[in-house]
Amino acid sequence: MTQELHSVGKSKIKRDSAPKLTGKALFTADMKMPDMLEGRIFRSTEAHANIVKIDTSKAKALPGVMAVVTHDDVPKRPFTRSTMAEGLPSFAYEEEVLDQYILSEKSRYVGDWIAAVAAVDVYTAEKALDLITVEYEKLTAVYDPFEASKPKGPIIHESAKDNIASAMEHPFNCGEVEKGLEEADVVVELTGKNSRQKHCHLEPDSALASWGTDGRLTMISPSQGAHMAKKHFAKIFDLPEKNIRWISPDIGGGFGARLALGVEPVAAFLARVTAKPVRVTTTREEDFAGWGGRTEQHQTMKLGAKKDGSLTALDLKIVSDSGAYFSHSGTTSAVNMQHTLGLFRCPNVHGELKVVYTNTPIASGFRGYGNVEGAFVLQQGMDMLAEKANMDPIDFRMKNIKEVGEPSFFIPVPLDHCALKECIARGAEKIGWQEKWKGWNIKKEGRYRTGIGMSVMNHASGAGGFLLEHSSAIIKLNEDGSAVLTVSPCEMGQGILCALSQIAADTIGIDFEDVQVVTGDTDVTLFDIGSHASRSTLVIGNAVVDAGNKIKAILLESAAEKLQKKGVEELDVSDGKVFVKASPESFVEVKEIAFEAIYNYTDSGAHISATGSYLSTSHNPSFQAGFAEVEVDTETGQVNILRIVLAHDIGKAINPLQVEGQLEGGAAQAIGLALYEDFVVDTQNGHTLSDSFSTYKIPSTLDMPPIDIILVEDPAPAGPFGAKGVGEPGMVNITPSIANAIYDAVGVRIETMPLSPEKILAALKAKN
Amino acid sequence: MHRVLLPFEFFEPTTVNEVLELLDGEKTKVLAGGLDLVLDSRLRKIGLNKVISLQKIPDLDYVKYDPENGLSFGAMATMRQIEQFPAVKKKWQSLYEGIHTIVSVQTKIMGTAVGNICVGTPVSDIAPPLFTLGAKVKIIGKNGEKTVPIESFFVDLGKTILEPHEIVTEISVPEQATGTGSAFMKLGKTAEDIAKINVAVTVNLKDGICQKAKIALGAVAATPIRATEAEEAVKGLELDDRCIEKAAEAAAERVKPITDVRSTAQYRKEMVKVLVRDSFKLAIARASE
Amino acid sequence: MGKEIADFIINGTKYEEIIEPHMLLVDVIRDKIGLTGTKIACWAGDCGACTVLIDGLPILSCLTLAVTAKGKNITTVEGLADGHELHPIQKAYEEKGGVQCGYCSPGMLMSTKYLLDENPNPTREEIGEALAGNLCRCTGYVKIVDSVEYAAEIMEKGGTKQ
């Protein structure tokens, strides 16, 4: 039975657009509270040093300064920056890495937070920062994970021997990789490393904290998972969870950065010390030299295949750079293994990872979360195997793509949906693969050489079966037949609230315009791990469907009685009417039922409402084929992207405009990652050299190539109206397809991102 | 790291003489567009005791041209004004291109060309064009007025010949002789970027023979520089591909660029050759029009 | 040092504030006057989020000393809509998906307004050039250019379009 869809599938206008376009939307730093103080953090200037003495006396004496705090003042409960830790099952790690305090006792990177000030205004607060003096005892610093993990070197955290923060084997190793490599007809080995891409969310980090007279903390911040952040906080401040209320304002971009705590602990601590609301703000330079960025993963991969193209072995070793503290570097490395080693069918698979501390800014998780990092290596490795087997890269991949029924990646439940082959076919046609890919090692002439490359991927629609993938939704029907939907994703502009409203509207049978959303307050919303892992549409969407179905059931029952129908199967709801399917002119309006439910002087009167839930037990991967056509200038090494095609297995585009927006936005970030986003630390002194939009370049309007988005809509059984996730996938195929296209154009591969002109030119010269 | 500035005294004189009277020492700076002044002050790269605004002085924002005196623009002329001045795109193509590669409209509307030069940075996108177009800088100080060739205006990284009591009031560019063509090229990571290297070439041809060539390179030394050896190498010659190639090689030979967050020394050196050659070809084509 | 009472004319309304010369225009607009629509993302003039129109020209308010903007006609994002009625540019961005997180939007809208005031019928290339000083991390710009193209269309037809 195909339901007529009035909202789902339409590019409805999301409601947060108008407030943002009129300047009425309030982001954290737009908010004020009465008697609010301004907080600023004092950052260290040493990459690795003991703090011998901090003199805050002059700062404290400055009129208008209400508090100056250091490590001595903060709770001595160490924590991990990552709030995702709250959603992990206990088997994921031997123990949680609790390695930092609100303010550090030692400086472990240039920019480490070692003091904080609260004052009546930001001018006074910054004057106070300038009055703080620190005596450091310099220690030897280490800047790369290989150096840092050498025995007998400088120790960054006492708890981590040889600075190894975490190590693990891929939980789904299988077969025997050495045997698989021996059995192979073609074998390749390659290394690859992503750069420490900075999120560059335009809204700098900030937080506004205040403690009520009842001892409850209210935190306003751009966290991507407020319920988890709240749990996390409870531990840091030794508070019962009931004493924390987390409010989510409008958020200026997340991309995974806000899955780690930012300045919230400092704001909360200053607010407690001063007994006044405190708003802590940060600058762009502080963000660059701070607590987030794509974890740099040094990967070595071995791949083996038979000459017919079928894979026999995949071996992946990862050494990741955590930076000075542990945040998401372990989980992104683990997720790399999950996606990379689980995408294709392969009988012998092995992965292992090691995460190492260095005296550099903290690495965390960035959209794509390990899959982007791994695809860069895997998809080039697949091309290298295809070359050795003399097969078309598409044909080679087709040999290894899993079919429905085979174990899905990571959590090995049977894959119940995969439209990758259609994605490949449609994408290849769009870019003109047949005409443009001419074979391996075709000699090209001229200064400017074109090339074409492709890549395929899968990505979780929520980490079901692994993370606490449980979401709930509440729907109530007002007396006028309108609905209020209470959910707890993280709306960062991706349009999730709009999509969930569309799902609610079509599940119940009312208009999109009649659905209001309540979100962003942990006192009101039900527990949810927030928006990440591209989970919100599928997992929260299914919770909304569950709630909506319950509402619909109530409506059908009421209407059946009114319309004197024996069975509810004879009825349906659409356009705000409950009607008889066989004779639609016979109906009762939803609003009539809703009104009468409330205005009911009998004992059965009640506001119609329902709570729905969904537990996801599978990653329900979406799939995608990506294509890139490039032109390489062999004299400057510059790469001009001529065209990108992304064909995405979306299942069902709840809101096509927003889905495209996610793919285009992800593609733009990945283009930056592929070609010019490079995070550079001065290894003489640990200073961040990539500290502004001038020294760290992200794409502007003039840097975007033509991008074709193909939405392959083959409904997925597990998804709400068949929908799967799309938040991250736009990023994954871009870098490898560009890398493969560069190889097709000029015959060189670059091991480390970004694939800069300097590296390409050097590789071309070395080749000749 | 700061997000607010430290206090300073602020003056808004209405004549250049008043400005000169107020200028006194290292921590007194002049405000034109403010792009660099405000940023450097926030980053605490400079200390400011006194800021003297030029914004209220009338008749400093002119861009004018006449065939006898050529092009001139005042201290408050914005890059946008110069970019949009019709004669600039026609006659001083490299200057137009230099400004045009600054793709941020806001930056061009706020930023003055004179201010850009006074920062004394080797990565200026208008310095190489001005170096090769014979630009002169008019300086006024307590001791009077002087005009210097723009090449001598730049002294070192972030340092110009301006004394603390002096300001620049005008930059002028002479009329271009017939048979002149110029071109500017730049390499950056993205379209909106500070140059990894930039290059400007002006060439004057008569009957296909090079009368004079000027080549300026940016971001490869502490200041923008002229590639004088390369310029000498092509004088009086017919500029065929081989000749241009040799000039480009000579220009690249002499430079000792650095490796920094934007690019490597090796790459910069190699790209001098490519950009000089390509700019030369474009300038020649324009000279022949 | 140097405190003065200054007039700021923003969106046609005069505001009187006590300022000092070292205060940034963006901070005066946001913190003193309380118009928080204008955003700050970089404090360095690199991203355009703080763009306001001063006498019709797009200016980076994070690099502008407030004292230099006294008495000038300043337009911020709050000045675009006519009461509750969205400006065609805002409608276009809404409809074409030109706004995701919204943090770049106020600055982007100001640059868009300047473009369409100067050039009511821009090509996609001209739109890209006009917005090159406004960074967006969410959209990849595709739908921003779509929005501006559509805004030009609506405005040419004279206002609202169904």
User: Using CA of residue A120, residue A125, residue A131, residue A134, what is the dihedral sign?
Assistant: positive
pLDDT exceeds cutoff 90 at A274? yes
Smallest CA–CA distance from C130 into chain B, residue: B105
Query: What pLDDT does residue A490 have?
Result: 95
Region class of A3: left (phi > 0), else alpha (psi between -120 and 50), else beta? beta
Retrieve residue B8's tokens. 């300073």
User: Using CA of residue C65, residue C66, residue C68, residue C73, what is the dihedral sign?
Assistant: positive
Smallest CA–CA distance from B186 into chain A, residue: A636
Domain A296-464+618-767 has CATH 1.10.10.10: no
Total of domains in chain B: 3
> Is B2 part of any domain?
no
Residue type, B157: L
In contact, A400 and A344? CB cutoff 8 Å: yes
Neighbours of A498 (CB within 10 A): 25
Query: What pLDDT does residue B25 have?
Result: 80
C127: closest CA of chain B, how far (Å) = 11
Retrieve residue B242's tokens. 């081989």
- What phi and psi values does residue C101 have, to the nearest 5 degrees? -75, -25
Residue type, A405: G
In contact, A287 and A205? CB cutoff 8 Å: yes
Smallest CA–CA distance from A281 into chain B, residue: B3
C-alpha distances out from residue A558 to A563, A566, A600, A605, Å? 9, 12, 13, 12
- List the subunits that have 3+ CB pairs under 8 angstroms with C: A, B
Chain B residues with CB-CB distance to C59 below 8 A: 106, 109-110
pLDDT exceeds cutoff 70 at A549? yes
For C103, which of A253, A669, A699 is closest by C-beta distance? A253
**HSE-up of residue B225 (Cα within 13 Å, Cβ side):** 19
Domain spans, chain A: 17-23+470-615, 31-139+205-288, 296-464+618-767
Residues B194 and B126 in one domain: no
Q: How far is it, in rounded angstroms, from Cα A554 to Cα A507?
A: 13
Task: Tell me the mean pLDDT in the region C107-135.
Answer: 98
> Is C161 part of any domain?
no
**A3: confidence class by pLDDT, cuts 50, 70, 90:** low
> Is C162 part of any domain?
no
Determine, for residues C44 and A692 on separate chains, whether the beta-carbon distance falls below 8 Å. yes
Query: What pLDDT does residue A606 have?
Result: 81
Residue type, A154: P
Determine, for residues C99 and A21 on separate chains, whether the beta-carbon distance falls below 8 Å. yes
A residues 133-152 lying closer than 8 A (beta carbon) to B: none
- Span B179-211, pLDDT tens digits: 999 999 999 999 999 999 999 999 999 998 999
Tell me, what CATH number does C14's domain have? 3.10.20.30
Neighbours of A440 (CB within 10 A): 17
Q: Which of C57, C79, C101 is the last residue of a domain?
A: C79
Task: Tell me the mean pLDDT in the region B63-89.
Answer: 97
Q: Exposure string (b/e) for A174-195, b if CB count within 10 Å is 16 or more?
A: eeebeebbebbebbbebebbbb
Burial of A504 (0-12, 13-18, 19+ CB in 10 A): buried
- Span A291-339, pLDDT tens digits: 899 999 999 999 999 999 999 999 999 999 999 999 999 999 999 999 9
- Span C43-62, pLDDT tens digits: 999 999 999 999 999 999 99
Model ipTM over 0.95: yes
Determine, for residues B106 and C51 on separate chains, whether the beta-carbon distance falls below 8 Å. yes
Q: How far is it, in rounded angstroms, from Cα B89 to Cα B66?
A: 15
**B1: confidence class by pLDDT, cuts 50, 70, 90:** confident
Residues C127 and C144 in one domain: yes
Query: What pLDDT does residue C162 have?
Result: 36
Strand order, beta sheet including C4-10: C13-19, C4-10, C73-75, C51-54, C57-60
Residues B150 and B186 in one domain: no
> CA-based angle B220:B222:B226, to the nearest 5?
60
pLDDT exceeds cutoff 50 at A1? no
Residues C107 and C59 in one domain: no
Residues B42 and B91 in one domain: no
Q: Which of C44, C79, C114 is the last residue of a domain?
A: C79
Tell me, what CATH number does B94's domain have? 3.30.465.10
Query: What pLDDT does residue C99 have?
Result: 98
- Span A589-609, pLDDT tens digits: 999 999 999 998 877 778 899
Task: Tell me the mean pLDDT in the region B43-50.
Answer: 95
Task: Tell me the mean pLDDT in the region A129-150.
Answer: 97
Residue type, A238: D
Query: What pLDDT does residue A582 have?
Result: 92
**C161: confidence class by pLDDT, cuts 50, 70, 90:** very low
Residues C35 and C59 in one domain: yes
Residue type, A416: D
> Is C141 part of any domain?
yes
Retrieve residue B82's tokens. 């110069």
Cis omega (within 30 of 0) for bond into B13: no
**Is residue B82 within a helix (H) or strand (E), and if so which, with residue range?**
helix B79-84
In contact, A454 and A435? CB cutoff 8 Å: no
Among A304, A332, A495, A334, CA closest to A400: A304
Tell me, what CATH number does B274's domain have? 3.30.390.50
User: Coil, helix or strand for A301?
Assistant: strand
Q: Best interface-test mutation with A: which of C137, C150, C162 has the largest number of A CBs within 10 A?
A: C137
Q: How far is it, in rounded angstroms, from Cα A503 to Cα A480?
A: 20
Query: What pLDDT does residue A575 have?
Result: 95
Enumerate chain B positions whose Cβ falls within 8 A of a Cβ in A.
Answer: 1-4, 43, 103, 187-194, 260-264, 266-267, 270-271, 274
Residue type, B267: Y
Query: What pLDDT does residue A434 have?
Result: 97
Q: What is the mean pLDDT of chain C?
A: 96
Q: How far is it, in rounded angstroms, from Cα A286 to Cα A638?
A: 31
Determine, for residues C65 and B6 on separate chains, whether the beta-carbon distance falls below 8 Å. no
Query: What pLDDT does residue A4 have?
Result: 81
- What phi and psi values does residue B70 have, to the nearest 5 degrees? 80, -150
Domain A17-23+470-615 has CATH 3.30.365.10: yes
Q: What is the mean pLDDT of chain A?
A: 95
Residue type, B135: A
**Is residue B132 within a helix (H) or strand (E), and if so which, with residue range?**
helix B127-132
User: Using CA of residue B252, residue B255, residue B256, residue B262, what is the dihedral sign?
Assistant: negative
In contact, B161 and B155? CB cutoff 8 Å: yes
In contact, A309 and A344? CB cutoff 8 Å: no
Chain A residues with CB-CB distance to C78 below 8 A: 22-24
Q: Which of B173, B200, B229 is the last residue of a domain?
A: B173
> Is B47 part of any domain?
yes
Query: What pLDDT does residue A466 have?
Result: 84
Query: What pLDDT does residue A720 have?
Result: 98
From 3.40.50.1260, 1.20.1250.20, 3.40.50.1220, 3.90.1170.50, which CATH number describes the A31-139+205-288 domain? 3.90.1170.50
C-alpha distances out from residue C35 to A373, C20, C113, Å? 41, 19, 19
Strand order, beta sheet including A448-459: A448-459, A622-633, A639-649, A707-712
Alpha-carbon dihedral of residues C88, C90, C93, C99, nearest 10 degrees? 180
- DSSP string covering A95-158, please? S----B-SS-SEE-STT-EEEEEEESSHHHHHHHHHT-EEEEEE-----SHHHHTSTTS--SST
Q: How far is it, in rounded angstroms, from Cα C162 to Cα A580?
A: 34
Determine, for residues C24 and B192 on separate chains, whether the beta-carbon distance falls below 8 Å. no
Smallest CA–CA distance from A282 into chain B, residue: B3
Chain C residues with CB-CB distance to A37 below 8 A: none
For B10, which of C2, C57, C130 is closest by C-beta distance? C2
Range of the domain at B194: 180-287
Query: Which positions of A are catalytic?
Result: 728
Identical fold, A17-23+470-615 and A296-464+618-767:
yes
User: Coil, helix or strand for B265?
Assistant: helix
pLDDT exceeds cutoff 70 at C31? yes
Tell me, what CATH number does C124's domain have? 1.10.150.120
Range of the domain at C56: 4-79
Task: Tell me the mean pLDDT in the region C13-36.
Answer: 98
Retrieve residue A302's tokens. 């071995």
Chain A residues with CB-CB distance to C39 below 8 A: 27, 202-203, 252
In contact, B56 and B13? CB cutoff 8 Å: yes
Retrieve residue A7's tokens. 């909202």
**Angle between helix C142-156 and C105-118 (nearest 10):** 40
Smallest CA–CA distance from B37 into chain C, residue: C63
pLDDT exceeds cutoff 70 at A255? yes
In contact, A702 and C128? CB cutoff 8 Å: yes
Q: Which of C17, C49, C79 is the last residue of a domain?
A: C79
Q: Which residues contact C146 (CB under 8 A, 6 or more apart)?
A: C96, C97, C98
Portion of chain A with pLDDT greater than 70, in percent: 99
Total of domains in chain C: 2
Scanning chain C, the segments in alpha helix (DSSP H) are 25-27, 88-96, 105-118, 124-130, 142-156
